[in-house]
Chain A
Amino acid sequence: MNKLPEPKQPEKLIDEKGLRIDGRRLDQLRPIKLEVGVLDKADGSAYIEQGKNKILVAVYGPREAHPKHIAMPERAVIRARYHMAPFSVDERKSPAPSRREMELSKVIRESLEPVVLTDLYPRTTIDVFIEVLQSDGGSRCAAITAASLALADAGIPMKEMVAACAVGKIEGKLALDLSDAEDKYGDADIPVALVPNAGLVTLLQMDGHLTIAEFEQGFGMALEACKTLHAMQREALKKKYATVKEEAEEAPPAEVVA
Chain B
Amino acid sequence: MSATPQLPPVAKLEQKTVVDLVSKGKRIDERTPESYRPIEIQVGVIEKANGSAQVHLGKSKVLAGIKIETGEPFPDTPDEGVLTVNAELVPLASPSFEAGPPSEAAIELSRVTDRGIRESKCIDMKSLVIQKGKKVQVVYVDIYVLDHDGNLIDAANMAALAALANAKVAKMEMKGDEVVVKGGHHQLPLNNHPVSVTFAKIDKTVIVDPCLQEEQVMNARLTITIDKNGNICAMQKGGLNGFTPDEIRKSAHFAVQKAAENRARILAAGKG
Contact = CB atoms under 8 A, between A and B. Distances in A.
Interface residues of B, number: 39
Contact of B241 (A78, A118, A202): A202
A102 B106 CA distance: 10
A209 B119 contact: yes
Contacts of A195: 242
Contact of B237 (A72, A100, A203): A203
B3 A78 contact: yes
A2 interface: no
B256 interface: yes
Interface in A106-149: 106-110, 113-114, 118, 125, 127
Contacts of A245: none
Interface stretch (A32-40, A210-218, A235-243): A210-218
A137 to B, nearest CB: 17
Nearest to B219: A114
Interface string B117-149: 011100000000000000000000000000000
Nearest to A189: B119
A136 B248 CA distance: 28
A106 B70 CA distance: 33
A17 to B, nearest CB: 29
Contacts of B242: 114, 195, 198, 200-202
B244 A212 contact: no
Contact of B3 (A77, A114, A215): A77
B232 interface: yes
Interface stretch (B19-27, B90-98, B107-115): B107-115
B248 A99 contact: no
Interface string B231-265: 11111111111111100110011001000000000
Interface in A187-221: 190, 195, 198-212, 215-216, 219-220
Contacts of B207: none
Contacts of B58: none
Interface in A69-106: 70, 72, 75, 77-81, 99-100, 102-103, 105-106
Contacts, number: 125
Contacts of A105: 1-2, 104
Contact of A200 (B3, B236, B243): B243
A55 interface: no
Given A102-B107, A103-B104, A202-B242, A109 B4 contact: yes
**Interface secondary structure of B, over-half rule:** mixed
A212 B2 contact: no
A57 interface: no
A54 B1 CA distance: 20
B2 A106 contact: yes
A65 to B, nearest CB: 10
A212 B232 contact: yes
Contacts of A208: 119, 233
Nearest to B221: A110
Contacts of B253: 212
A150 to B, nearest CB: 16
A220 B120 CA distance: 23
Contact of A201 (B1, B110, B236, B244): B244
B222 interface: yes
Given A201-B237, A223-B245, A212 B222 contact: no
Given A113-B240, A204-B248, A212-B256, A102 B104 contact: yes
A202 B239 CA distance: 9
Nearest to B225: A206
B3 A204 contact: no
Interface of A: 70, 72, 75, 77-81, 99-100, 102-103, 105-110, 113-114, 118, 125, 127, 190, 195, 198-212, 215-216, 219-220, 223
Given A114-B241, A215-B252, 9 more contacts: A80-B2, A106-B104, A106-B108, A110-B238, A113-B240, A204-B248, A209-B232, A216-B252, A219-B245
Interface of B: 1-4, 6, 102, 104, 107-108, 110-111, 115, 118-120, 220, 222, 227, 230-245, 248-249, 252-253, 256
What are the 10 tightest A-B residue pairs by CB atom distance, in nearest-first order? A206-B235, A200-B242, A105-B2, A202-B242, A204-B237, A81-B1, A106-B2, A79-B3, A77-B4, A113-B240
24 contacts: A70-B6, A75-B4, A79-B4, A81-B2, A99-B107, A99-B111, A103-B107, A105-B1, A106-B2, A109-B2, A109-B3, A110-B240, A113-B240, A113-B241, A114-B241, A198-B242, A201-B237, A201-B245, A202-B237, A204-B237, A211-B232, A212-B231, A220-B245, A223-B245
